[in-house]
Amino acid sequence: MRFIFTRDTWQEIFGTIRKNKLRTAITIIGVFWGILLFVGLQGAAKGMENGFDYTFKDLATNSIFLWGQQTGIPYAGYNRNRTIRLELNDTYRIANQVEGVQFVVPRNAKGIFDGAAPLVVNKLKSGNYKVFGDYPIIDNVSKKKLRKGRFLNHKDISSNRKICVIGERIEKELFEKDDNPIGQYIKISNIYFQIVGVYKENNTDFFEGDDSIFIPFTTFKKVFNTGNRIGWMVIAGYPDEDIVAIEEKTKELLKRRYSVHPNDERAFGAANFGEMFGKITGFVKGLKFTALIVGIATILAGVIAIGNILLITVKERTKEIGIRRALGAKPGEIRGQIILESVFLTLVAGILGMTVGGLSLSVLNNFAKSWDDFPFMNPTVSLQYIGFAIAIMVILGTLIGLIPAQRAVSIRPIEALREE
């Protein structure tokens, strides 16, 4: 093995490579391309993953939206088509009794699922906008981006304050350009509310858009006379909990409470974001895995191409090898030289491919910055993968080099010299 590290060995290899530039270039292209694809695909998949992570970073991804509907099966003396209205107490029950639940947020709204959007008036301007009755904790489900002022707080809830947070479109539509809405009063369903904040639309909201008004849950209850009823609730599970199981358990609990037939699938509606998010995560994982497989396969193809070309080269160099052997080259030295050539070419091609791959990823990243809707960010390839790719290249380069090397030493020097 010592001969790997002697200068002479490398001088022989460099000599051979330098004198056969075209051949070397062609040999390298296969592996270069393989590694380029490997790095490119890995980076792109990672970029997608980062993009999704960024998109969902303000969202409690492991969550369910749940609401009452109409029963589908008659049960316990009730007819079918009985309307189920969830109540505030249900949220406490679920939070306390269902395992794995982090928090439960009740919500009420006008102008989205039921009821017309209330009229909102500021001096001479008016419009119809959705109004949500919320607890401050809704911020943990979908982070609100405040442009001005603040969001709802606990004090607002406990003292039923008549304050509101409005969307930036409402600000634009109801206020003059230089008019700061914070501290001003607007009329919602004929009741004055003081504006405490203006929010900006974020990319993961569900219903709010940029034209909604948030008021304290308790205030909503009084203004719209909803009593203990709630529109729907958001149930957030702890990050690692199985959100599908939480949904099942919650529905069981609610079915018992509202005397709904255990097999009634219609009574409660739910949108499971955790499940959807899981599918996206799974998709990204699949993408990364595919990229890995395709990348390795391409590297493999490249290395085989090197082996193939070296095999042709060995045939071309039969005479040279014969001369070397007549001059006293041991079979091991010939074999070692060809394997080293193979590994060296593979590595050079690989490092070149990695460099170009990295550069193209950074170019891609610059482009991606201008695509707002496309989830793509910071495409990178971890050092682990790079190390893995290099290891694969060295191993495959050696293995594939063995074939031409064996062929080279199996030629008897006398036969090699006879070849003209």
Partner 1 sequence: MIQINELHKSYRMGSNELHVLKGINLDIKEGEFVSIMGSSGSGKSTLLNIIGMLDVAERGEYILDNVPIENLSEKKAAIYRNKFLGFIFQSFNLINYKNAAENVALPLYYQGISRKIRKEKSLYYLEKVGLADWAHHLPSELSGGQKQRVAIARALASEPKVLLADEPTGALDTKTSYEVMDFLQGINDEGKTILVVTHEPDIADMTKRIVQLKDGVIEKDTFVEQVRASEHV
Could you list the residues that contact partner 1 (CB under 8 A)? Answer: 7-8, 12, 15-16, 19-20, 319-320, 322-333, 409, 412-414, 417, 420
Shortest spacing between CB 381 and partner 1, in angstroms: 38
Shortest spacing between CB 386 and partner 1, in angstroms: 34
Residue closer to partner 1 by CB (options 262, 331) is: 331
Residue closer to partner 1 by CB (options 373, 420) is: 420
Shortest spacing between CB 16 and partner 1, in angstroms: 7
Shortest spacing between CB 319 and partner 1, in angstroms: 7
Residue closer to partner 1 by CB (options 256, 330) is: 330
Shortest spacing between CB 332 and partner 1, in angstroms: 7
Question: Rounded to an integer, what is the distance from CA 70 to the centroid of its chain?
Answer: 36
Residue closer to partner 1 by CB (options 26, 293) is: 26
Shortest spacing between CB 331 and partner 1, in angstroms: 5
In angstroms, the CA 182 to CA 305 distance is 69
Residue closer to partner 1 by CB (options 71, 337) is: 337
Residue closer to partner 1 by CB (options 12, 171) is: 12
Shortest spacing between CB 398 and partner 1, in angstroms: 21
Residue closer to partner 1 by CB (options 4, 414) is: 414
Residue closer to partner 1 by CB (options 15, 282) is: 15
Residue closer to partner 1 by CB (options 18, 177) is: 18
Shortest spacing between CB 362 and partner 1, in angstroms: 39
Residue closer to partner 1 by CB (options 183, 328) is: 328
Nearest CA among 285, 295, 311 for reference residue 353: 295
Q: Would you tell me the crossing angle of helices 21-55 and 273-316 to the nearest 10 degrees?
A: 180
Shortest spacing between CB 19 and partner 1, in angstroms: 3
| 3-state SS, one letter per residue, for the chain | CHHHHCHHHHHHHHHHHHCCHHHHHHHHHHHHHHHHHHHHHHHHHHHHHHHHHHHCCCECCCEEEEEECECCCCECCECCCCECCCEHHHHHHHHHHCCCEEEEEEEEEECCCCCCCCEEEECCEEEECEEEEECCCHHHHECCEEEEECCCCHHHHHCCCCEEEEEHHHHHHHCCCCCCCCCCEEEECCEEEEEEEEEECCCCCCCCCCCEEEEEHHHHHHHHCCCCECCEEEEEECCCCCHHHHHHHHHHHHHHHCCCCCCCCCCEEEEEHHHHHHHHHHHHHHHHHHHHHHHHHHHHHHHHHHHHHHHHHHHHCHHHHHHHHHCCCCHHHHHHHHHHHHHHHHHHHHHHHHHHHHHHHHHHHHHHCCCCCCCCCCCCCCHHHHHHHHHHHHHHHHHHHHHHHHHHHHCCHHHHHHCC
Shortest spacing between CB 11 and partner 1, in angstroms: 8
Other beta carbons within 10 Å of 121: 16
